[in-house]
Amino acid sequence: MNQPDWIRYTDHRDMRVCHSLPLVRIVGLRLLLFALISDFAAAAVPETAVGSIAPAVNALGVDLYRAQGAQGDGNLLLSPYSIQTALAMAYAGADGETKAEMERVLHYSGADDVVADGFAAFGSQLMVMTENSKKRVALAKTSGGPSTPVEVNVANRLFVQAAYPLRKPFISLLADRYRAPLEQLDFHSAPDKSRVAINNWVEQQTRRKIRDLIPPDGVTKDTRVVLANAIYLYAPWEEEFYDRATKPEPFQVKGKESAAVPTMIQKATCGYAKESGFTAIQLPYAGGVLSFLILLPEARDGLADFEKKLTSDLFAKMAKIPKREVELHLPKFRIEPPTVPLGDELKQLGMKTAFDQPTGSANFDRMAPRKPDQYLYISEVFHKAYLALDEKGTEAAAATAVVMAPTAAMTPKEETPIVRVDHPFVFAIQHVPSGTCLFLGRVMDPR
């Protein structure tokens, strides 16, 4: 098996989570982009390094959160960073009106190289974060401190049908800025063998946590390109919860009925803000670069109204709230929603020509030559995520697949506040220096 293409760190305990990710059905000549996520934490990152992508990641995350949230009253989980990474690689190949529409919907600003450089800078900083966490744990052996490092494994690769005419500048951009080297496969003659090869690569990058990503019929003889991104994340708390303190406490499920759920309790120094209509808690992971952000509406049944007020600017503000001692009661929970197609939501947001609406309008000429009788377009965007939170920390995973097919045509300190997260709330795993939301969701029922 080939070595990973970007970052690979192997010193970590065995995680006990293994979940299938999105099953992607593909027809005709197409391009797949996969983005898997699952584990992050700590390292000093200059705010300007990812300033070009943080607002875009959060803004698209809020757009899709609202679109998905309006479809039901259950738990919700998205990875704005995963979705943006996959779509950013597709954007790198877009041209004309398709490029302009994607730019608007994805909230990009500045020149194309600013977008690519932003994602490249963020990836590099994840590497720094992991190295700093390792050093911190090594020092802790003599001076006391965290015993488990934050771990990040990030890899990108461009799988392509041998001899398929991708444009050289596109190949170079993915190699240089997204660190996605090209690997040739024979989709035409051996589609299933190619599918297994990609799945094995994904499994290796995610330490066997993501298996069989592409189903048996997910790759056909007409497949020409698969763009793959894999990220593994595990984030231990800066201060672990004492597991013997965990006890059943009432939670207002969906803001309506009370149920006893396992609730973690600790006095911790963390970000705290009492705002109009809600309370914010920013609980740091080891090293303090990543945090678990809780936005708790004041009213037990007030989540729906609060969700209407979510903005990218709000998340940027919450990344900078002051710290103080808080007694926190936080339910343990695990969310694993099914794969969701995001194509309709993206079209409604204004990204139509990328999906070839109207027919003949898709333009990905910067990826591969566009011919009148054959050109690439996005047929669907699939996304799936997983998150588990307990006394030790957080483990999370997500996957995004962009499927492309051809067509012929602050509060003053008084007494220690007690925050009981005992009714529906919004949460995010946030990169504190930039405010970037790696994950975004809500808990209606933690059971």
Please indicate, yes or no, if residue 2 is contained in any of the structural domains: no
Question: By C-alpha distance, which of 39, 446, 403 is closest to 210?
Answer: 39
Q: Please check whether residues 327 and 339 belong to one and the same domain.
A: no
Please indicate, yes or no, if residue 25 is contained in any of the structural domains: no
pLDDT digits (tens, 9 = 90+) for 158-205: 888 888 889 999 999 998 888 888 999 898 899 889 888 988 887 787
CATH number at residue 113: 3.30.497.10
Please indicate, yes or no, if residue 371 is contained in any of the structural domains: yes
Q: Please check whether residues 194 and 276 belong to one and the same domain.
A: no
Q: Please check whether residues 145 and 273 belong to one and the same domain.
A: no
pLDDT of residue 20: 31
**Minimum mean pLDDT range among 207-211, 315-319, 355-359:** 207-211
Please compute the mean of the pLDDT values over residues 44-48 and round it to a whole number: 41
Please report the beta strands in 237-349, taking only residues with DSSP state E, as ranges in sequence order. Answer: 247-253, 257-275, 278-284, 290-297, 323-331, 333-335, 340-341
> 10 Å Cβ neighbour count for 323?
14
Helix (H) / strand (E) containing 399: strand 393-407
Q: Please check whether residues 223 and 339 belong to one and the same domain.
A: yes
What are the φ/ψ torsions at residue 272 (nearest 5 degrees)?
Answer: -145, 130
Please indicate, yes or no, if residue 176 is contained in any of the structural domains: yes
Contact 254, 242 (CB under 8 A): no
More confident residue, 382 or 357: 357
Q: Do the strands 323-331 and 418-420 form a parallel or antiparallel pair, or are they unpaired?
A: parallel
Q: Please check whether residues 49 and 151 belong to one and the same domain.
A: yes
> How far apart are the C-alpha atoms of 426 and 296, rounded to whole Å?
7
Please indicate, yes or no, if residue 5 is contained in any of the structural domains: no
Question: By C-alpha distance, which of 298, 381, 289 is closest to 44?
Answer: 289
Q: Please check whether residues 163 and 224 belong to one and the same domain.
A: yes
Domain count, the chain: 2
Q: What is the pTM of this model?
A: 0.83
Q: Please check whether residues 181 and 309 belong to one and the same domain.
A: no
Please indicate, yes or no, if residue 162 is contained in any of the structural domains: yes
Please indicate, yes or no, if residue 362 is contained in any of the structural domains: yes
Q: Please check whether residues 197 and 318 belong to one and the same domain.
A: no
Distance in angstroms between the alpha carbons of the first and the last residue of the chain = 40
Question: Domain limits at 275?
Answer: 243-331+412-443
Q: Please check whether residues 132 and 108 belong to one and the same domain.
A: yes
Please indicate, yes or no, if residue 8 is contained in any of the structural domains: no
Q: Please check whether residues 117 and 191 belong to one and the same domain.
A: yes
Q: Please check whether residues 249 and 268 belong to one and the same domain.
A: yes
